[in-house]
Amino acid sequence: GRTVGVEINGARSNAGQNLSYFIRGGRNRQVLILIDGIQVTDPSQIGNDYDLRLLNADQVESIEILKGASSTLYGTGAATAVINIKLKDPENQPVQLQLKSVLGTNSASSEQNSTINDFRNSIALNGTLGEITYLASFGHQFTDGLSAIQSGKETDVFNSYNGNFKLGYDVSSRLKVTSYFSFDRFKADFDDSFAMMDAANRLLTNQHRLGLTSQYSYKKGSFNLNAALNNVEREVESNFPTLFKSNSLVVDVYNRYNVTDNFYLLTGLNIQDNQMESFSIPFGESDFNQDIDPENAQFTIADVYLNSVLTTDIGIQLNAGLRLNNHSEYGSHLVYSINPSYVKETNFGYVKGIVSLSTAYITPSLYQLIEPTFGNPDLQPEENQTIEIGSEVSLKNNTRFSLVYFTRNEDQFIDFKDTGNFVFQYQNVSESFKASGLEFTAQTDLSDKLKINVNATYTKLEEELNLRIPEFKVNSSINYRPFTGTNLNIAYQYNAERRDVFFNNNTFESESVVLKPFGLLDLFVSHNFKNSPLSCFASLTNLLNKDFEELNGFTTRGRNVSIGFGLKL
């Protein structure tokens, strides 16, 4: 990721590599993913997190990242950040057909070749017919050419299919209703990460999402209802075959009431129901046996929340909230947030100051609670407290600077502990862990054609939290429009050294290793043809063909080129 403070580990590796998102020292289970405003998770995952490999980038309209503890608004998992992914909506015209195709190479720095091994295609039909809106989109990706591990000789293929359908109806000027259905499937080959050798392993994942969103607007505000049912099935084909199935239902009902022009209240009820089951094939047999019964692997969350926002004519703004979490297994938990800010207009622009104190909770996953061998039904939720202090300066010549300091305490951390005699169990640990850091951004428009962006992140972590997270990370980009319709972007990213852990087959113990720092230079160019529905684009990534590691022993992409076109009819 090139957003300040965000690291998507695995995105520069083989296409089927697991993706880990690290923000402010937090990992997947501490970062909540929303799709069109609804929480998405996989209850069968150890961390209850969402697999970003299920997404097709061509179906995404925008991505908003809200950093900091946000459980008061979004519930469990929103400890270090919320990533809100907004999928594309229908266009405001009767019919529009969109086509996009990309071809590219996919090679490591040590084995450069020009073979086209990366194919990405998408098509969408959408539009608006009176009060009815509709959208149907499909996407496909096939990527070959790289082995998952550096020492591998056989390539590991990634193959995905995606479909997204939306149907909306404006019942009246006040009431709007939209229903949607999506399917996402991928197959990802992977190697033996313990022996670090080629293996004919494969992960097959299928996801189906069905949802409804509605909004009723009235004079003083709006009433909103969002509901979604998500089904995920994961099958691991290896020497130890396993099958996981999960269902999650989310219903979010909230009302925004404008008390005055400067003060509004948001009140809501959020209900989540999670269920999972798992299967494995015992040694010497050929059929799956059930390990976890869904009748015993289920929990329900029912949260009520309140948020208030006050703005004033003197530049002061106050955002405060409360949320009462009610869990069917461990009971109730209260979180809060208070975020005052102040903006001062000046003769050169404005100066803004922010302060934030917020808490968050992370519900134990079903796997951690009820897994037959390692589960612990007595687990309590993890607790996080974050303090932020920041400032922003904006100049009238379109230049802006910001600096934010954050410190986060993590309590009741759920760890995989050795209880003695090689017996392991998930347990809350008594130690408190701390993460802190600085986030700096600067951007300026030197002219209508030239823009420069720079951001830097410093993250200080205790050893227990320090896994694949760079202490320093810098992103910079220059965006230049030499001609009408043409856009040129040059981007550089630096990652300092990172700590990783691997299993030593000789000592049969986990050991630490330091991954070397690296810097990557990328080039992007696009052109929209005048008075034409056609656009074209190209990219050259890792321009200097740097050899680096994201995960110890795993392959990363070297210099690669891609070209493509888009068509809107």
Is the residue at 127 inside a domain? yes
Q: Position 166: which residue type?
A: K
DSSP assignment of 178-242, as one string?
EEEEEEEEEEEEEEETTTTEEEEEEEEEEEEEEEEEEEEEETTEEEEEEEEEEEEEEEEESSS-E
Per-residue pLDDT at 85: 95
Among 29-38, 79-88, 191-200, 265-274, the least confident range: 191-200
Give the pLDDT band of residue 509 (cuts 50, 70, 90).
confident
Assess contact for 387 and 337: CB atoms under 8 A.
no
pLDDT of res. 420: 78
pLDDT at 523 over 70: yes
- pLDDT beyond 80 at 10: yes
Any idea which of 235-239, 499-503, 511-515 has the lowest mean pLDDT? 499-503
Query: Region 152-171: what's the mean pLDDT?
Result: 96
- Give the pLDDT confidence score for residue 193 in this predicted structure: 83
β-pairing, 509-515 with 518-528?
A: unpaired
Average pLDDT over residues 278-284: 89
Tell me the C-alpha distance between 29 and 362, whole Å: 7
Q: What is the largest CA-CA distance in the chain?
A: 79
DSSP 358-420: EEEEEPPPHHHHH-TTT--TT---EEEEEEEEEEEEEETTTEEEEEEEEEEEEES-EEEEE-S
> Residue 41 sits in a domain of what CATH number?
2.40.170.20
Q: In this predicted structure, what is the pLDDT of residue 424? A: 87
Helix H or strand E segment including 22? strand 20-23
Would the pLDDT of 340 be above 70? Answer: yes
1 occurs within a structural domain = no
At residue 1 the predicted structure's pLDDT band, cuts being 50, 70 and 90, is low
Q: Is residue 170 one of the residues assigned to a domain?
A: yes
Q: State the pLDDT at residue 328.
A: 92
pTM: 0.93
Q: Provide the pLDDT confidence category of residue 195 given band limits of 50, 70 and 90.
A: confident
> Helix, strand or coil for residue 453?
strand
The position carrying tokens 């974050």 is 386
Range of the domain at 381: 6-568
With bands split at pLDDT 50, 70 and 90, how would you rate the model's confidence at 283?
confident
Q: What is the pLDDT of residue 171?
A: 95
How many structural domains is the chain composed of?
1
64 occurs within a structural domain: yes
Query: Residue 90: inside a domain, yes or no?
Result: yes
Which band of pLDDT confidence, cut at 50, 70 and 90, is reported for residue 395? very high
Mean per-residue pLDDT over the chain, rounded: 94
